[in-house]
């Protein structure tokens, strides 16, 4: 948990569906106005305007971003899903907006916060606390975090959900998808239905703080024998569907380690990559949101803090086995075995054209490079992430054959991608081969 205050404007969260829809309606008309103005300007210069370019002017992009930020919750989730999983299908302007959305969350004003707490804990809730800091120490996509000390001496981090989020999830997700279509931000060819259904399902799960509390405790138990990891402890007596109470843990953002000694960066990334393989093959339970803010570091002890278990997902044993087969085939250079496993997982369909299949399998082989190498792989000296992005772009451009793979694989890819990005940013050297060997 960051201990510095987050300075953001307090913005009441629009909680009635109508007020949220009106915001979108206003947005569509202002984008239309901008498009008309920009078209007139280009015609005056003797250029023939293209609709996509007009919709994606920076002014429109910023308008969309601002609206999405005020709708928070669903908007941010759809944005996150799309910017991580379908990041390569999105125009760069939108990808930047969504990255900004992840970083900027507004917080709710005190009166709104107090109403949520009274509903969760009763009117005399203040009597149970020595102190309760009304300024949030962190803001997330569907809630904000406050620090508090109870009368019986517990130092807590308390995550409070924005009001109305749960009831507006489904309509918000639909509105956001409509908005992205209106704004020309998604290609017509992509079937978003499975991704939107998943965004709704996942948001409903993330909006259930009691469920997140159970996942937090589960991870705490799974990692009890690994003192290198620090998982906050659940405080069930203060936890409800809208409020999650856990022990406050002090650490600094993991990406502030970019200037740390090489050995420290290597060690932290080795821990996180080892955890990733354990989550898939051993626990079959994964925290699937690779936002860097979910990892923090305690310099004094060298521990890695794990936060935010809202997006925890269990994988069936058969799924983990298919991945094991895919990786084993990939590491042995067995192309036919890779194709068979990729088909079973759903990456490739019977109708995938040979050229596209080729590109997909090449991309998968590229992603296995770090695992193929004997000894430490140097993420800092590798252009792996940019090569992966280019292959992704090539696949996304072939709209007729663009498949959104099964949802489990999306989350897994998203987590792998996020961890690779973090390792690259940290310029870490990690012996991945040694880490994966026991699982294969």
- d(C-alpha 438, C-alpha 440), whole Å: 6
- Retrieve residue 226's tokens: 């690994």
β-pairing verdict for 229-230 and 303-306:
parallel
- d(C-alpha 342, C-alpha 164), whole Å: 41
Q: Which strand (E) or helix (H) includes residue 245? A: strand 243-247
Residue ranges of the alpha helices (H) in 239-334?
A: 262-278, 317-331
Alpha carbon 92 to its chain centroid, in Å, reads: 18
**Around Cβ 380, how many Cβ atoms within 10 Å?**
13
Nearest to 360 by CA among 343, 378, 384, 382: 343
**Around Cβ 336, how many Cβ atoms within 10 Å?**
8
Phi and psi of 429, rounded to 5°? -115, 120
User: Has 152 been annotated as catalytic?
Assistant: no
Phi and psi of 159, rounded to 5°? -95, 125
Q: Are 283 and 36 in contact (CB under 8 A)?
A: no
Q: Going along 308-427, which residue ranges are E strands?
A: 312-314, 377-378
Given the residues 172, 242, 274, 289, select the one marked as catalytic.
Answer: 289
Query: Which of the residues are catalytic?
Result: 289
């Amino acid at each position: 948990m960051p201990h510095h205050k987050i300075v953001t404007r307090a913005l009441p969260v629009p909680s009635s569906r109508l007020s949220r829809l009106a915001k979108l309606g206003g947005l569509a008309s202002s984008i239309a106005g901008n498009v008309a103005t920009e078209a007139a300007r280009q015609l005056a210069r003797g250029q023939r305007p293209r609709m996509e370019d007009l919709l994606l002017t920076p002014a429109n992009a910023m308008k969309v971003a601002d609206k999405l930020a005020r709708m928070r919750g669903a908007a941010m989730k759809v944005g996150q899903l799309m910017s991580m999983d379908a990041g390569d299908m999105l125009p760069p302007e939108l990808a930047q907006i969504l990255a900004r959305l992840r970083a900027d969350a507004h917080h709710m004003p005190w009166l709104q916060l107090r109403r949520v707490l009274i509903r969760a804990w009763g009117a005399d809730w203040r009597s149970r606390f020595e102190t309760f800091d009304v300024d949030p120490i962190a803001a997330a996509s569907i809630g904000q975090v406050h620090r508090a000390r109870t009368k019986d001496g517990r130092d807590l981090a308390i995550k409070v959900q924005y009001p109305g989020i749960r009831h507006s999830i489904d309509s918000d997700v639909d509105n956001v998808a409509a908005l992205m279509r209106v704004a020309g931000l998604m290609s017509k060819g992509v079937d978003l239905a499975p991704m939107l259904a998943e965004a709704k399902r996942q948001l409903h799960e993330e909006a259930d703080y009691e469920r997140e509390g159970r996942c937090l405790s589960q991870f705490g138990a799974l990692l009890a024998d690994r003192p290198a990891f620090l998982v906050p402890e659940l405080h069930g007596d203060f936890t409800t569907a809208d409020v999650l109470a856990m022990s406050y843990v002090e650490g600094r953002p993991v990406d502030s380690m970019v200037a740390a000694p090489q050995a420290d960066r290597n060690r932290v990334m080795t821990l996180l990559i080892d955890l990733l393989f354990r989550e898939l093959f051993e626990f079959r339970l994964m925290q699937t949101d690779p936002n860097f803010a979910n990892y923090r570091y305690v310099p004094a002890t060298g521990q890695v803090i794990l936060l935010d278990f809202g997006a925890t997902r269990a994988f069936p044993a058969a799924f983990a086995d298919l991945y094991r087969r895919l990786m084993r085939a990939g590491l042995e250079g067995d192309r036919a075995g890779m194709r068979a496993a990729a088909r079973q997982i759903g990456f490739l369909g019977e109708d995938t054209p040979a050229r596209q299949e080729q590109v997909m399998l090449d991309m998968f082989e590229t992603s296995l490079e770090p695992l193929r190498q004997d000894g430490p792989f140097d993420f800092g000296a590798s252009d792996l992430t940019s090569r992966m992005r280019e292959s992704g772009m090539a696949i996304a451009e072939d709209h007729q054959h663009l498949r959104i793979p099964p949802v489990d694989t999306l989350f897994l890819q998203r987590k792998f991608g996020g961890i690779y990005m973090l390792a690259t940013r940290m310029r870490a050297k990690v012996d991945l081969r040694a880490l994966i060997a026991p699982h294969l």
